[in-house]
Chains A and B, each alone.
Chain A
Amino acid sequence: MLVSVYRYNPETDLKPSMRDYQIEIPGGKDLMVLDVLAMVKEQDDSVAYRRSCREGVCGSDGMNINGVNGLACITPLSDVVKNDKLVLRPLPGLPVVRDLVVDMSIFYKQYERIEPYLQNDDPVPAIERLQSPEDRAKLDGLYECILCACCSTNCPSFWWNPEKFVGPAGLLQAYRFLADSRDTHTDERLANLEDPFSVFRCRGIMNCVAVCPKGLNPTKAIGHIREMLMERGA
């Protein structure tokens, strides 16, 4: 199989380029893209990419695989390879540090900006705070985010305004805390999202939903945030 990998080393390359590798794929098993990358690295140890859990829960190996953002470790070749060719590029829209490694600081900054931690000013009880199973169920589909950035880097609004638009990943987490019955800072959280950029740059095109490797729906969460803002405003 031909594997074409985006290569850029800031120390030696003026411009990025694609480099091709011929990889022998053993039969009988549907390999994941990450397995193939490991084979590329055995050939050429200078190929840089991130990886950790190799089972789709740590969010390290988000990349652009044959044109679509996804996690290399849970993307089987059978899902993406056509004409025996695999093209691997870094996640779009973020500065490239090297090869498939992107600088995610702006993405993390947007995450930090929504104050991603429970805030509750009531006195702390001796045991846990109680929460009904129904209230807890409201967090399903939100807390599972692995911060892989597949969604935000697939979002044109985030490409245009990464400093101002929180992006789908950050907003999903913003709603995770807005939806938590134990959080008492709803009003402050909403006030911080009310400006024309943070939430409202979302045009609902659902590019985020299309690529989320965990099957989450940031667009829906953003819709809920808008509803809460409306209620607060009315």
Chain B
Amino acid sequence: MGMKNMQVSSVTNFGRSGLSDWLIQRVSAVILLLYIVCHSAIILSTPEMSYAQWRELFAGTTMRIFSLLTLLALCAHAWIGMWTVATDYLTRRMMGSKATLVRLVFLVGCIAVLAIYFIWCVIILWSV
């Protein structure tokens, strides 16, 4: 019956299922929050931080892994969020037949921005 015909294709989303998207979204949010809290604490507890201190902070392996993880979380979070926004608003229902093309362009744009951002961040982190 109906079920099969109406089964929603998920080829364009990040994970294989809505469940993984949902989980990734929440886990990544927690990572982002931790990162922010961590850095806020460091900044607040060191009122007059010098560039050397700042550099040293990012040179450690733990912080490097933590930063990289946060970067990944940020990209995943942003991608899932933008994909969801796009499939809510950039749809045939909202804008007619040109929707698919518009959405595709928008999502490719998102990927490009995220990729550039990611590479740039990695370069910065490793240059420390």
Q: Which residues of A contact B (CB under 8 A)?
A: 109, 112-113, 115, 157, 160-164, 192, 194-201, 226, 229-230, 233
Contacts and interface: CB of A to CB of B under 8 A. Distances in A.
Contacts, number: 62
B26 to A, nearest CB: 11
A198 to B, nearest CB: 6
B6 A109 contact: yes
B8 A160 contact: no
Interface of B: 1-3, 6-10, 13, 17-23, 84, 87-89, 91, 93-94
Contacts of B91: 160-161
Contacts of B22: 200, 226
Contact of B21 (A109, A115, A160, A200): A200
A163 B13 CA distance: 17
Contacts of B3: 113, 115, 192
Given A192-B7, A195-B8, A196-B8, A229 B87 contact: no
A196 B9 CA distance: 9
B19 A197 contact: no
Nearest to A196: B18
A194 B3 CA distance: 13
B19 A161 contact: no
Contacts of A201: 84, 88
Contacts of A200: 18-19, 21-22
Contacts of A160: 88-89, 91, 93-94
B17 A112 contact: no
B2 A195 contact: no
B2 A112 contact: yes
A200 B84 CA distance: 10
Contact of A164 (B1, B2, B8, B20): B8
A198 B19 CA distance: 11
A113 B91 CA distance: 22
Nearest to B20: A233
17 contacts: A112-B1, A113-B3, A113-B6, A115-B1, A160-B91, A161-B93, A192-B3, A195-B9, A195-B18, A196-B13, A197-B18, A197-B87, A200-B18, A200-B21, A201-B88, A226-B19, A229-B19
A33 to B, nearest CB: 30
Contacts of B89: 160
Contacts of B9: 195
